[in-house]
Amino acid sequence: MILRAEWLKLCTVRGWMAGLAAVPLIMVALGVLFASGSTMSCMDGTREVDCPAPPADSSGRSVQDRLTFVNRELDGDGSITAKVGGLDGTITYPPPNHDEIVRGVVPWAKAGLMIKDGTGPGADYAAVMLTGTHGVRMQSAFTRDKAGPPLREAWLRLTRHGDEITGYVSDNGADYQKIDSVRLDGLPATARIGLFVTSPSGYTVDERAEGGHAVSARWTQATAEFSRISPGGAWTDSLVGYSDYRTTWEQTHPPGYTESGGVITVAGSGEIGPDSENGLAIERTLTGAFAALLPLLVVAALCGSAEFRHGMIRTTLAAIPRPLRLSAAKAAVIGAAALVTGLVAVAVTMPVTVGMLRSHAVVVLAAPWPTVLRVAIGTAVLLSLAALFAYGLASLLRRAVPAIVITTVLVLAPPILAATSVLPATAGVWLLRLTPGAAFAIQQSLPSYPQASRPQTVLDGYYPLSPWAGLGVLALYALAALTAATWRLHRDMTPSSQPAASSERGATSERGASSERGNPSERAASSEGGVRPRGSLRQDSA
Amino acid sequence: MPLGFALLLTAGGVMLGRGGIDAVQLRLLGVRLGQAAVAAAGVQILAGEYGTGLIRATLIVVPRRWSVLVAKAGLLTAGVVPVAVVGVGVAVIGLPLSDALLRAAGESVLHLILVGLLGLGVAAAVRSSAAAMGIVLGLLYLAPMLLWMLPDPDWGRFLYRLTPATAVQALTTTVDDAGLPLGPWAALGVVAAWTVGALGMGAVLFQRRNA
Amino acid sequence: MATIEVNGLRKRYGAAVALDGMTFTVRPGHVTGFVGPNGAGKSTTLRTIIGLDRPDAGTAIIGGRRYAELAHPMRHCGALLDPHALHPARSGRNHLLWLAASQGLPARRADEVLGLTGLADAGRRAAGGYSLGMRQRLGVAAALLGDPPVLLLDEPFNGLDPAGIVWMRGLLRDLAAEGRSVLVSSHLMSELQDMAGHVVVAGHGRVIADAGVDDLIGEYASLEAAYLELTAGVGGIR
C-alpha cells in the first residue's frame, strides 16, 4: 500500500519517467554505436582474414590452448615419468633495441608432462611442468595453478587413477613428492598422455605520458629435453591449436620433436590459459552503463530531495506517519525501478550488440553462462544500488545537486580515472577498492589469474576486487546513505530524549505554569470588570 | 558549500606525491574532480533561487535580468578565484618551480573559473538545478568517453578536441605534449568557447522566459 | 463521535516557547474556530496533532488515539496545513491518487473529491501551475479523501476568490453538520462568526478563551471585538 503510493509518486512526475526511460535508451544507443563501429581482422601470414573464434574449454570459456604435445594413448589408469631439463628458447626482437632475435626463455615458458582429453584445443587437461622462472608447477583447467619446488631440472611424474590426476616431482629420480591432485570429471577411459612444450609471448609494458600504458608482445619459442621417459615409445606428434602459418624462425626451427639417444627434444610456442586478447570481452557491449548512470543518478537524487522541497515531506508524513516504513518503501520503489530499467537495458543491449558484432566478424569472447548472467544481472544491480546511493544521499542532505556531484565523483570517476589517467597503478587500485566505483568489477567477465603472462592491471580492465565484493562495496555505501537519511528523518520526528534537555524542559514548564496562573487573572483585572475569566467561559460552552 | 568541497578536491592532489612520469599532471588530478564541485557552485548560485522561488524576489528587486546574470557571474568568479588559487597552489606545493608548472597551475585556475561560469550559463538556460548539473557533468566526464566509442575514430578524435574535458588533460600536462589532441592554450580556448556559448544561451533564455 | 483532545501541549524551539500548556477539545457537529495572533502557537498545535511536531509534553488525541498510531490516518483525520506542500510537476489528480493509494482507498475517491472541490477540469494539469486558491481546493480535496470524521484546516480562506470563500464556508458548515469535528484556524473573524459554532482563542502558546461563538457575540457584540479584547496585550511573536 505504501509501496503503491510511492510508486505512484515516482511515475507521476514526467521528468523522472523521462530520465528513467533515458537509461535503456542511452545504453542501447551507445552499445549499437560501439558495435556498428567495431571491426576486427586477423593476419594469416600475409593474408587478411576474418578472425577465428578462439577455442572454448568445457565450461564454455574462450581459452588459448596452443602447445606441442608429443603423446600416445593411455587406456584406463596409468602414469608417465620423465626427467625434464634443458629448458631453452628464443625471443624475437626484445627491448631495448628490438633489432635481434635472442636466446632465452620467458618466465612462463612451460615444459613437462600432460594428460589431456584428446588433442583438440580447449580439451580438459592436467599437467606438471618446469617453467622459465617460476619453478615446477602443476596446472589444470586453464586457471588452476599449484607451485612446486623452484627447480631448473627435475624428474616429473603424472599418474591417473580414475578421474584423479596427481603430479609428483623429484630432484633425484628416487624420492617423489606430491605437488597437487586434481579431478578431471568426465575424462574418458581413453585419454592422451605425453610430453609438452609451449612458450607464451614476451610482454613489455610502456607507460604513456597521456595516461594508460601500451602493452607490446613478441613471439617466442621454447625447447626442452626429456629423458629417462617411462614408459616410453610409440609417440605421436600433435601441434595443438597451431595454425598453418609459420614464423620465419619456425620455418627453420619447426615445432615438434626430435629424438636422439633416448633424449626427446620438444619445441613449441603458445599459451595455455583464458583468452583475453583474441576478441572483445562481453562486458564491452555494456560500456554505455557509465553514461546511462548519469540520468539515473539525477532522477534518484531528485526523488530523494523532492520530498524536502515545498514542504512536500509534511504531506507525505501526514499520510504515512511512520518514517522507517516510509524510507524503506521509497528505497524499495526506487531500487526496483532502477533494477527493472537496468534489466531492460541489458536484456536489449547485450543480444543486439553481440549479434551486430558477430555479423561484422568481430569475435566476442565466450564466457560460461553463469558468468554472462552475472555480468548482465550484476550490471542491472549496479544501476539499482547506485540509484539507491544517490537517493539516500539526496534525502540525507535534502538537496539534489550535492548528491549528484558526490555520487558521480564517487561512482563514475574512479573507474574512468583508473582506466585512463595518469594515476599511478597503486592509487588506481586503492580507488577501486575503497570507492563505490569498485562495483564495476561485477562487469568483468575475464578471470584474473596469477600465472598469466599478459599484464592484468586496472589499466587492462582487471578490477582489484572480486565481482561480488566490488558490488558489495557499493551496496555498503548505499546502505550507509539510506540508514543515515532514515535516521535523520526519524530524529526530526521524535523528541530528543537526552536527560540534560529534559531537565531543562522541566524548568521551562514550571516557569510556564506559573505565568499561566498569573497572567490571565491580571489581565482580567486590568481589563474591564465584565470579562469573565477563561475558566467560566469554558463552563458555559460545555 | 560546493566551493569548500572544490577546495578539498583540488588541493587533495597534494597527497599524490611525486610519482609518475608527469608529477605536475598527477598533482593537478584534483582539478578534474574539483571542477565538478565548482560547476555545482555555478549551477546553484542561480538554479538554487529557482528551487526556492527566491528568483522572483531577486527579479523584483533587480528587474533588469542582464544585470542579475552579470552580478551572479561576478559573485561566482569572486568566490571561485580564491578557492582555485589556494586549491591549485596547495596541490603543487613543493614541486620544483618551472615555466611549465606555472603555466599549468595558472591555466588550471582559469579553467576552474570558466567551468563555474559554464555551470551558471547552463543553469540559466535550463532553470532546474539537477538537470543543469546532469548536463554539465555529462559534458565534463562522459562526453570524452562516449566519443571514443564513435565508429569513426578520426571523427571521435576531432570531436574530442571540442569537448571541455580535453582541456584539463591538455593544460595540466607538462611533459610530452605531442601525444595530446590539443595544445594547452587552445584547449583553454575550447572551454572558454563553451562557457561563452552557455552564458549567451542562458542569458537569452533567461531574458525571455517567465521566472 | 470522534473528537480532538489537545491536553497540556508544551513545545519549545531553542529559547522560544511555542506551546505552553495548550489544552482544548474539538467536538463534532459544529465548526470550531482556532484564532490568535501570529506566533500564538496555532500552526504548531495543528502540526503536533498530525504528528509532524512532537511535543515536549502533553498529548493530542484524535478519536481516542494518537495520529501516528493510526494505520490509515487520513481516514480518521484530514488536514490542510500547507497548500504548497506538493510536487509542482505532479498533476492534482495524481497527487490525490498517491495519497489514496497510501490510505488503501480506491482511485475513484480522488475523482470524487476533485468534483467536490471544483477541480474536476484542472485535476489533470501540473499542480505547479495552480493559483493559491486552486491549491487550497486541492488541499481540501486531499483532506476529504479518506472521508474522515475529523478535519483540520489551517487558513483555508487564504487566496480564495469571493466565490471560493462562499463555497468554502458552505462546505465547512455542511461537513460539520454531517457530524464531523472541524477545526479551522483563521484570521478572518467575520468568516468564523458566520460559520463557527465555537472558538478557541490562543495566545502565548496556550488557550486564552474557549467559548461558543454566540456567547462571545453576546458579550462583545462581534467576534472581532471579542478577539481584539481578549488578545489585547498578548504579543504575537515573542
Distance in angstroms (rounded) separating the CA atoms of residues C10 and A267: 92
Cβ contacts of C47 on chain A, cutoff 8 Å: 314
Closest CA to C164 of C186, C135, C194, C190: C135
Q: Give the mean pLDDT of A180-199.
A: 94
DSSP assignment of A359-384 equals HTT--B----HHHHHHHHHHHHHHHH
Is C232–A527 a contact, with Cβ atoms under 8 angstroms apart? yes
Residue B39 with chain A: CB contacts under 8 Å: 405
Residues of chain B with pLDDT under 70: 1-2, 5, 12-22, 50-53, 59, 62-63, 145, 148-153, 156, 174-181, 210-211
Number of domains in chain C: 1
Are A242 and A256 in contact by the 8 Å Cβ rule? The answer is no
Q: Which SS3 state, helix, strand or coil, does residue A210 take?
A: coil
Chains that touch A (3 or more CB pairs under 8 A): B, C
What are the tens digits of pLDDT across the range A110-142? 999 999 999 999 999 999 999 999 999 999 999
Task: Record the cell numbers describing residue B70, joined without a space.
Answer: 552579470
Grid coordinates standing for A89?
Answer: 628458447
Confirm whether C90 is domain-assigned. no
Per-residue pLDDT, A526: 36
Q: Which of A10, A531, A541 to mutate to test the interface with C (most CBs of C within 10 A)?
A: A541
Determine contact: A508 vs chain C, CB below 8 A: yes
Contact C21 A512 (CB under 8 A): yes
Q: Are the CB atoms for B123 and B129 separated by under 8 Å?
A: yes
Q: Look at A416 and B22 and tell me if their CB atoms are within 8 Å.
A: no
DSSP A34-78: HHHH----EEETTEEEPPPPPPB-TTS-BEEE-EEEEEEEEESSE
- Please list every residue in chain C whose beta carbon sits closer than 8 Å to the beta carbon of residue A494: 54
pLDDT of A524: 36
Contact B105, B64 (CB under 8 A): no
pLDDT at position A93 over 70: yes
CA distance A314 to A321: 9
Q: Does residue A105 register a pLDDT over 80? A: yes
Q: Output the CA–CA distances (angstroms, integers) from residue B106 to A243, A421, B26, B93, B181, in the order listed.
A: 57, 21, 16, 14, 20
* Model pLDDT, residue A182: 96
A305 contacts in chain B (CB < 8 Å): 130
| A210, A302, A412 member nearest B130 (Cβ) | A302
Three-class SS state of B177: helix
Q: What domain range includes position C209?
A: 1-63+177-238
Closest residue, chain A, to B170 (C-alpha): A210
- DSSP 8-state code for residue A347: H
Dihedral sign from CA coordinates of C105, C110, C111, C112: positive
Give domain status of residue C79, yes or no: no
Cβ-in-10-Å burial (0-12, 13-18, 19+) of B95 comes to: middle
Give the per-residue pLDDT at A151. 93
Query: Which pLDDT does position B51 carry in this prediction?
Result: 61
User: Do residues A146 and A180 lie in contact, with contact meaning Cβ atoms separated by under 8 Å?
Assistant: yes
- What's the one-letter identity of residue A237? D
What pLDDT was estimated at residue A169? 96
Round to the nearest angstrom and report the end-to-end CA distance of chain B: 25
Tell me the C-alpha distance between A412 and A343, whole Å. 20
User: Which grid coordinates are listed for A159?
Assistant: 599418474
A56 touches chain B (CB under 8 A): no
* CATH class in words for A63-274: mainly beta
The full DSSP string for B59-103 is HHH---HHHHHHHHHHHHHHHHHHHHHHHHHHHTTTSPP-HHHHH
Among A13, A401, A406, the strongest candidate for a mutation testing the B interface, having the largest count of B CBs within 10 A, is A401
Q: Answer yes or no: do A12 and C50 touch at CB < 8 A.
A: no
Q: End-to-end alpha-carbon separation of chain C, Å?
A: 37
Query: Chain B partners of A207 at a C-beta cutoff of 8 Å?
Result: 21
CB B119 within 8 A of CB B136: yes
**C181-185: strand order across its sheet:** C77-80, C150-154, C181-185, C31-35, C196-203, C206-212
Cell readout for B108 is: 588550471
- Using a CB-CB distance cutoff of 8 angstroms, which residues of chain A are in contact with residue B18? none
Cell of A472: 558489495
Report helix angle B29-52 to B54-61, nearest 10: 80
Minimum CA–CA partner of B43 in chain A: A401
Query: What mean pLDDT value characterizes chain B?
Result: 79
Domain assignment of residue B14, given as a range? 2-208
Which residue of C22, C56, C77, C109 is the best one to mutate when testing the A interface, meaning the one whose CB has the most A CBs within 10 A?
C56
DSSP-derived 3-state class of residue A234:
coil
Report which of A239, A266, A222, A256 is spatially closest to residue A108, judged by C-alpha positions. A222
Q: What is the number of structural domains in chain B?
A: 1
Smallest CA–CA distance, residue A1 to chain C, in Å, is 5
Q: Which of C17, C104, C142 sits opposite A508 (nearest CB)?
A: C17
Q: How far is A296 from chain B (nearest CA, A)?
A: 10
Chain-chain contact of B179 with A209 (C-beta, under 8 angstroms): yes
B54 touches chain A (CB under 8 A): no
**Inter-chain touch B19–A309, beta carbons under 8 Å:** no
Please report, to the nearest 10 degrees, the dihedral formed by the alpha carbons of residues C64, C65, C71, C72 taken in order: 60
Q: Which residue(s) pair with A198 in the sheet?
A: A110
Q: What is the mean pLDDT of residues C96-122?
A: 94
Highest mean pLDDT among A499-503, B3-7, C49-53, C150-154: C150-154
pLDDT of residue A405: 86
End-to-end CA distance of chain A: 41
Query: Quick one: closest CA in C to A1, which residue?
Result: C102
Q: Are A222 and A196 in contact (CB under 8 A)?
A: no
Secondary structure (DSSP) of A93-147? S-TTT--SEEE---TT-EEEEEEESSSSTT--EEEEEEESSS-EEEEETTTEEEE
Beta bridge partners of A205: A215
In whole angstroms, what is the distance from residue C202 CA to residue C207 CA? 4
d(CA A449, CA A455): 10
**CB contact (8 A) between residue A404 and residue B133:** yes
pLDDT at C174: 94
Residue A277: predicted pLDDT: 84
* Residue with the larger pLDDT of the pair C97 and A496: C97
The CATH number linked to C14 is 3.40.50.300
pLDDT on residue A497:
36
Count CB neighbours of C170 within 10 A. Answer: 11
| Exposed e or buried b per residue across B46-81, where buried means at least 16 C-beta atoms within 10 angstroms of its C-beta | bbbbbbeeebeebeeeeeebeebbeebbeebbebbe
pLDDT at A508 over 60: no
Backbone angles phi and psi of A191, in degrees to 5: -125, 175
Contacts 24+ apart (CB under 8 A), C162-171: C164/C133, C164/C136, C164/C137, C165/C191, C167/C118, C168/C136, C168/C140, C169/C194, C169/C195, C171/C116, C171/C140
> What was the pLDDT predicted at A536?
31
DSSP string across A305-319:
HHTTSTTHHHHHHHH
DSSP state string for C200-235: EEEETTEEEEEEEHHHHHHHHSSHHHHHHHHTTT--
Q: How far does A281 lie from chain B, in Å, by closest CA?
A: 15
* C35 neighbors C200 (Cβ within 8 angstroms): yes
Grid coordinates representing B46?
542561480
- Give contacts of A36 with chain B, Cβ < 8 Å: 151
Task: In whole angstroms, give the CA distance from residue A265 to residue C33.
Answer: 107
- Cα separation, A30 vs A401, whole angstroms: 26
Complex-level ipTM:
0.90
What mean pLDDT do residues A513-535 have? Answer: 36
Note whether A404 contacts B134, CB cutoff 8 Å: yes
Residue C203 lies in a domain: yes
> For A436-495, how does the pLDDT look when each residue is reduced to its tens digit (9 = 90+)?
999 999 999 988 888 887 888 777 778 999 999 999 999 999 999 999 999 998 887 654
Q: What average pLDDT does range A328-340 have in this prediction?
A: 96
Q: Could you tell me if A89 and A401 are in contact, meaning their C-beta atoms sit under 8 angstroms apart?
A: no
Tell me the C-alpha to C-alpha distance, in Å, between residue A431 and each of A393, A410, A512, B137. 20, 9, 57, 20
CB neighbourhood size of C178 (10 A): 12
What confidence category does residue A229 fall into, taking pLDDT thresholds of 50, 70 and 90?
Answer: very high
Which residues of chain A lie closer than 8 angstroms to B169, CB-CB? 210-211
pLDDT at B98: 79
- Rounded CA-CA distance B170/B184 in Å is 5
Residue C124, CB half-sphere, CA atoms under 13 Å: how many? 2
For chain A, what is the mean pLDDT? 85
Look at residues B146, B147, B139 and name the one whose alpha carbon lies nearest to residue B118.
B139
Q: Is A179 helix (H, G, I), strand (E, B) or coil?
A: strand
Q: Do B150 and A210 touch (CB under 8 A)?
A: no
Whether A8 and chain C come into contact, CB under 8 Å, resolves to yes
The three cell numbers locating residue A516 = 499561566
The answer to whether the beta carbons of residues B149 and A33 sit under 8 Å apart is yes
A419 near B CB under 8 A: no
- What is the spatial distance between Cα A407 and Cα A296, in angstroms, rounded to a whole number? 11
Whether residue A297 has pLDDT greater than 90 = yes
Amino acid at B161: R
Please check the confidence at residue A533 and state whether its pLDDT lies above 70: no
User: Does position A160 have pLDDT exceeding 70, yes or no?
Assistant: yes
User: Which string of b and e fits A525-536 if b means at least 16 CB within 10 Å?
Assistant: eeeeeebeebee
